[in-house]
Amino acid sequence: MKKTLQIIIAIFICLNIFGQKKINPEVQADSLIRLMTLDEKIGQLNQYTSDWEATGKITTENDKEIQIRQGKVGSMLNVIGTEKTRKLQEIAMQSRLHIPMIFGLDVIHGFRTTFPVPLAETASWDLASIEKSARIAATEAAAFGEHWTFAPMVDIARDPRWGRVMEGAGEDTYLGCLVAKARINGFQGKGLGNVDAVMACAKHFAAYGAAIGGRDYNSVDMSLRQLNETYLPPFKAAVEANVATFMNSFNDINGIPATANKYIQRDILKGQWNFKGFVVSDWGSIGEMIAHGYAKNSYDAAMKAIIAGSDMDMESRCYRDNLKQLVQDGKVDISIIDEAVKRILIKKIELRLFQDPYRFCNLEREKQQTNNAENRKFAREIGEKSIVLLKNDPQTSGTPILPLSSKNKTIALIGPFIKATIANHGFWSIAFPDDSARIITQYQGIKSQLDKSSTLLYSMGCNVNDNNKTGFEDAIKMAKAADVIILSLGEAPNMSGEAKSRSNLQLPGVQEELLKEIYKTEKPIVLLLNAGRPLIFNWAVDHVPSILYTWWLGTEAGNSIADVIFGKYNPAGKLPISFPRTEGQIPIYYNHFNTGRPAKDENDKNYVSAYIDLQNSPRFPFGYGLSYTDFNISNLKLSSDQLSINEGKLTATIDIKNTGNYDGEEVVQLYIRDLVGCVVRPVKELKGFQKIFLRKGESKSLSFTITPADLKFYNDQIKYINETGDYEIFIGNSSNTNLKGNFKLTL
């Protein structure tokens, strides 16, 4: 009788009260928790994948559907499409308390429409476009039944050997914070509860990008000051942007796996930052603590993870198999379980799944988003903005090769990426893995813009990654017959991404040999580089006159690239990560310390901090990128040479002129150096930027405001402080700028 009554109450609450917006989700969650058995509570903390392998080993069981019906599964990942999500949701709704499941997926850079990989998008330094890309991805994913994306990855990454650099915003903390916010705002749109908004997930908490040696999943060992100063701020920014969820990381931090790291999850995230959402483990990471040597068995692992604040178990089954016993043994207090359940239920309430568990399963919306022309148009635009022009030297004629006229030319398109389809997607385009037919190849994009008076020749030349040179002969023949060569080289999409660390960042296979052979024809070459990370291509930089870093641009790659080649769009991308000269320089980043023995210049090797066999500078610095036009930045003025620590504000002004032959955009960057500190401070730190458009010949003045908040840092007691003293300010169009002024931060 009591049981029946409970069920009636539950149904009443689920179907009626939860449908009304005004009731506080906390109260609703609490009332539901009161009705739940321990098994049902543990069920909410359990997440299973669907039946295909994504990024880990799949453990299948024949009774998954039965478990869902018993309320033992709170969420699933990798279930794609309204039909499939509806089918599983219907089963979840047969559970005793009718609690819907959340469906999650890695929607990393687009869903139906694939956008540039996140590192490439960051090269646009265009926060509004980055937000829009996430907005479209969310709208498409939500139309296919998804409630949750495991994005954005906000890990700072200073090591391009680490394959996951492609998934983040690069090496800089300031830029990383802004991009994190833009992506979260895009994914979550006008807020959870709207049918085009999905929950975002700030990952991987924390310091995953600092894996020793750049080897994925490896340990992280760093000072707490460094952790707080460099790696945690984008996560804090995510909380400020109201991110719904966090995912913890595979690595250990100073000996404690992130999954069981109380300091970062309980003290910082849920404590200091007051994060109200829930934390999902990474795939199997709770169970992996056994291999780490941090847990004896899955019982021990489950205990350590839940106590440390990991709310949901992705795929390890440690919670499912052990939490009940842990509670019965008095090892885990029920209040800890209740807290985790409550965090998850609140999100289900906010998504309004109790009101309508199938509100994301709408065939009509799915159809609308299946081939959305507007979304493709935007993919083309953000693709253009992501491309970085690394080099465009004048030819003997005095003008550079780019932009190329589409008239009266024989152009040879050579290389394994010219006709590639799916390679343009790069890693993490998992919703539609066989999407080749929708992708605009580089060949198609270039051909579609070519004037009738021109001829296109093609040769693949070689594969991406083998030793086969049989295609060289044909490629050389095409090159000889052409006026100009567009050579498209790079790394394969399965070479950057999860578990795709590389110790060698050169062009794989025989691609560089092909380049050298083509170069011998003495024809002008435009080199396109396709990759998810900074590659090392010194020979090319030393010999090839024009180089575009095209990353992996997604569905519209070919059109975006053609727009830039033919000058429909004047490139303005800037590198969000330093490009090393050799692997031996890694990690290399612009905001390093000066050391006690800084080298005077690149040739200074006299007992200074330098390599005897290499320059200290990167091949291309952070913030670098050219345009078809030229910009002159000058006349740096500060409104005062003093800034008061209390309510002060300083304005820095520069003049910028487009002195070249084309209209174009420039990213004007502001860096600051704190000259003397209670802890050593970086030689430069990005603190602001503006992307502006100037017509040919046009000038403008630009102002930046600096406040004491911009100058704060963590001292050795991990206190975030301002310190009075001398500062330098730099403004320019890359981190290499020398245009500078000085001011004092005063009391």
List the end-to-end C-alpha distance of the chain, in Å, as a whole number: 72
> What is the rounded distance in angstroms from the CA atom of residue 610 to the CA atom of residue 614?
8
> What is the rounded distance in angstroms from the CA atom of residue 616 to the CA atom of residue 454?
45
Question: What are 638's two structure tokens?
Answer: 């500060």
Beta bridge partners of 220: 253
Segments of 249-348 assigned E as strands: 252-253, 256-257, 278-280, 313-314
Q: How far is CA 208 from the centre of its chain?
A: 13
Which of 501/546 has CB closer to ligand NOJ?
501
Site size toward ligand NOJ, by CB under 6 A: 9
Question: What are 455's two structure tokens?
Answer: 């001829």
The residue sitting closest to ligand NOJ, measured at its beta carbon, is 150
Residues of span 70-99 touching ligand NOJ by CB under 6 A? 77
Which of 45/460 has CB closer to ligand NOJ?
45
Does 727 sit near ligand NOJ (CB under 6 A)?
no
Q: What angle do CA 574, 577, 582 make, to 5 degrees?
A: 120
Q: Are strands 148-149 and 455-459 parallel, antiparallel or unpaired?
A: unpaired
Q: Figure out which of the listed residues 13, 92, 101, 106 binds ligand NOJ, where binding follows CB under 6 A.
A: 106
> What is the rounded distance in angstroms from the CA atom of residue 468 to the CA atom of residue 519?
19
Which of 54/692 has CB closer to ligand NOJ?
54
Does 216 sit near ligand NOJ (CB under 6 A)?
no
Half-sphere exposure of 529 (CA within 13 A, CB side): 26
Is 437 exposed, middle or buried (CB count within 10 Å of its CB: 0-12, 13-18, 19+)?
Answer: exposed
Q: How far is the CB of 553 from ligand NOJ (least distance, A)?
A: 21
Q: Figure out which of the listed residues 159, 282, 563, 666 binds ligand NOJ, where binding follows CB under 6 A.
A: 282
Alpha-carbon Rg for the chain, nearest whole angstrom, is 27
Of 99, 91, 81, which is closest to residue 41 (Cα–Cα)? 99
Mark residues 230-249: x for contact with ligand NOJ by CB under 6 A, - for none: --------------------
Mark residues 458-497: x for contact with ligand NOJ by CB under 6 A, - for none: ----------------------------------------
Is 66 exposed, middle or buried (CB count within 10 Å of its CB: 0-12, 13-18, 19+)?
Answer: exposed
Q: How far is the CB of 359 from ligand NOJ (least distance, A)?
A: 24
Q: How far is the CB of 243 from ligand NOJ (least distance, A)?
A: 14
> What is the rounded distance in angstroms from the CA atom of residue 575 to the CA atom of residue 736?
12
For residue 611, what is the DSSP state? B
Q: How far is the CB of 55 from ligand NOJ (least distance, A)?
A: 4
**Catalytic residue chosen out of the listed positions 159, 172, 252, 282:** 282
Is 385 exposed, middle or buried (CB count within 10 Å of its CB: 0-12, 13-18, 19+)?
Answer: buried
Number of Cβ within a 10 Å radius of residue 57: 8
Q: How far is the CB of 205 from ligand NOJ (least distance, A)?
A: 11
Residues of span 522-581 touching ligand NOJ by CB under 6 A? none
Phi/psi at 166 (5° precision): -60, -20
Q: Do the beta carbons of residue 298 and residue 290 sit within 8 Å?
A: yes
Q: How far is the CB of 17 from ligand NOJ (least distance, A)?
A: 33
Which of 427/743 has CB closer to ligand NOJ?
427
Q: How far is the CB of 203 from ligand NOJ (least distance, A)?
A: 6
- Is 321 catalytic? The answer is no
Does 252 sit near ligand NOJ (CB under 6 A)?
no
Half-sphere exposure of 669 (CA within 13 A, CB side): 27
Does 203 sit near ligand NOJ (CB under 6 A)?
yes
Q: Do the beta carbons of residue 614 and residue 649 sit within 8 Å?
A: no
Which of 55/85 has CB closer to ligand NOJ?
55
Q: How far is the CB of 741 from ligand NOJ (least distance, A)?
A: 42
Q: How far is the CB of 81 from ligand NOJ (least distance, A)?
A: 17
> What is the rounded distance in angstroms from the CA atom of residue 96 to the CA atom of residue 236?
38
Which of 248/591 has CB closer to ligand NOJ?
248
Residues 6+ away with beta carbon under 8 Å from 196:
138, 139, 142, 143, 189
Which of 95/281 has CB closer to ligand NOJ?
281
Does 54 sit near ligand NOJ (CB under 6 A)?
yes
Residues of span 2-21 touching ligand NOJ by CB under 6 A? none
Residues 6+ away with beta carbon under 8 Å from 147:
102, 103, 104, 198, 199, 351, 353, 360
Which of 73/527 has CB closer to ligand NOJ?
73
Does 427 sit near ligand NOJ (CB under 6 A)?
no
Which of 498/517 has CB closer to ligand NOJ?
498
Beta bridge partners of 658: 631
Which of 172/282 has CB closer to ligand NOJ?
282
Q: Figure out which of the listed residues 498, 517, 685, 723 binds ligand NOJ, where binding follows CB under 6 A.
A: 498
Does 150 sit near ligand NOJ (CB under 6 A)?
yes
**SS3 (DSSP) at 377:** helix
Q: Do the beta carbons of residue 220 and residue 212 sit within 8 Å?
A: yes
Q: How far is the CB of 527 from ligand NOJ (least distance, A)?
A: 32
Q: Figure out which of the listed residues 148, 283, 319, 671 binds ligand NOJ, where binding follows CB under 6 A.
A: 283
Q: How far is the CB of 142 from ligand NOJ (least distance, A)?
A: 18
Which of 150/569 has CB closer to ligand NOJ?
150
Does 589 sit near ligand NOJ (CB under 6 A)?
no
Which of 168/415 has CB closer to ligand NOJ?
168
Q: How far is the CB of 265 from ligand NOJ (least distance, A)?
A: 17
Which of 198/564 has CB closer to ligand NOJ?
198
Is 715 exposed, middle or buried (CB count within 10 Å of its CB: 0-12, 13-18, 19+)?
Answer: middle
Residues 6+ away with beta carbon under 8 Å from 514:
414, 415, 461, 462, 469, 472, 475, 487, 489
CB burial readout 722-731, b (16+ within 10 A) else e: bbeeebebbb
> Is residue 475 within a helix (H) or strand (E), and if so which, with residue range?
helix 472-481
Q: How far is CA 185 from the centre of its chain?
A: 14
Q: How far is the CB of 163 from ligand NOJ (least distance, A)?
A: 11
- Interaxial angle between packed helices 127-143 and 373-386, expressed in degrees from 0 to 180 and rounded to the nearest 10: 150
Does 55 sit near ligand NOJ (CB under 6 A)?
yes
Phi/psi at 118 (5° precision): -55, -35
Report the catalytic residues.
282
Q: Which residues bind ligand NOJ (CB under 6 A)?
A: 54-55, 77, 106, 150, 203, 282-283, 498
